[in-house]
Amino acid sequence: MNEPNTNLRETVRQRYAAAAVKVTEGGAACCAPEPLEVDENFGATLYAADERDALPPEAVAASLGCGNPTVVADLRPGDRVLDLGSGGGIDVLLSARRVGPAGKAYGLDMTEEMLALADANAAKAGATNVEFLKGTIEAIPLPANTIDVVISNCVINLSTDKPAVFAETFRVLKPGGRLGVSDVVADDHLSPAQRAERGDYVGCIAGALSFSEYRTGLEAVGFTDVEITPTHPVADGMHSAIVRAVKSAAELPLTTAATSCCGVTGCCSPTDPVTTAHAKPDAGCSCRH
């Protein structure tokens, strides 16, 4: 990764680490933390009251998304769900309730402070069908073809390598798997410079793709039935949008199925990441040496 992208990622990490610390300290100092609302277009107010009331207040307070992907992702009992950039865990915990004990909800985040907060929230909620993984959304530490639904809430726009995010999302989804995310999307006529004029990168504005760029990026890695539906404006020419897509249910070539069980480079080596080692048994596959 080049230096500007590395710096942007670190800026994003620092911003969300600070948010997690603020929620944690707020909850310890009083009876409940203050929500990290940015404005009416982002945060916990985008969830229904009954959803918020059923979760630990720290999970609700840490919400910084631009939508509610669990409502649009068509989650079903028994599904295996992955939330990209899971933060304090609000969407993972809601997903776990929807998929039930026969399903599982994974959360992926690169920020230690958010992962600690999410684990604490899962314990408070009594959720036993969740697992939070440390990693980046550009290199998902899960095997290929093991996830039914990928969700995300205003996180993909923060990536400095969106083609990698799309490719990794496609890889981990099972044939027939679904993508259902909330994200910020720009009108096609806005240049990257014009998007940056409307907000900064960590504020989920400058890094947003346009409608056509988003569609092209998803289709380039193999997604079909791409739908991008704006829900509400977040800046001039910028929208919170629901993005849906499908991985074809066509049978994979044997060469792919036989070589991508573990899915992550080096996963069969002695340095196998712990999170990936946990995921392999869940996927019903084992490493070949």
Answer for the pair 205, 198: CB distance below 8 angstroms, yes or no: yes
Name the helix (H) or strand (E) containing 166. helix 162-172
In eight-state DSSP terms, residue 113 is: H
Distance CA 167, CA 151 (A): 15
| pLDDT at residue number 206 | 80
Report pLDDT for 36. Answer: 43
- Please give the pLDDT value at position 257: 38
Q: List the chain pLDDT tens, one digit each, 289 residues.
A: 556 666 666 666 566 656 656 655 654 433 444 444 555 544 455 555 556 555 555 555 545 555 566 767 789 999 999 999 988 888 899 899 999 999 999 999 988 888 988 998 899 889 999 999 999 999 999 999 999 999 998 889 889 899 999 999 999 999 999 999 989 999 999 999 999 988 876 777 888 999 999 999 999 999 999 999 998 898 999 998 999 999 998 745 543 433 344 444 434 333 333 344 444 444 444 433 3
- For residue 249, the model assigns a pLDDT of 84
Instruction: Report the distance separating Cα 242 and Cα 183, nearest Å.
Output: 7
Q: Both ends of the chain: CA-CA distance in Å?
A: 30
Query: Are residues 172 and 143 in contact, defined by beta-carbon separation less than 8 angstroms?
Result: yes
Which stretches does DSSP call E strand in the chain? 80-84, 104-109, 130-134, 147-153, 173-186, 209-210, 223-235, 238-247
Residue-level pLDDT at 49: 55
Q: Is the dihedral of CA 108, 110, 111, 112 positive or negative?
A: positive
What integer pLDDT is reported at residue 287 of this predicted model? 38
Long-range pairs for 165-168: beta carbons < 8 A, 24 or more residues apart: 165/84, 165/137, 165/138, 166/217, 166/218, 166/220, 166/221, 166/223, 167/221, 168/137, 168/138, 168/139, 168/140
- Find, among 245, 219, 247, the residue nearest to 145 by Cα: 247
pLDDT value, residue 89: 86
242: β partners = 182, 229
pTM for the whole thing? 0.75
Whole-angstrom Cα distance, residue 13 to residue 29? 24
pLDDT value for 4: 61
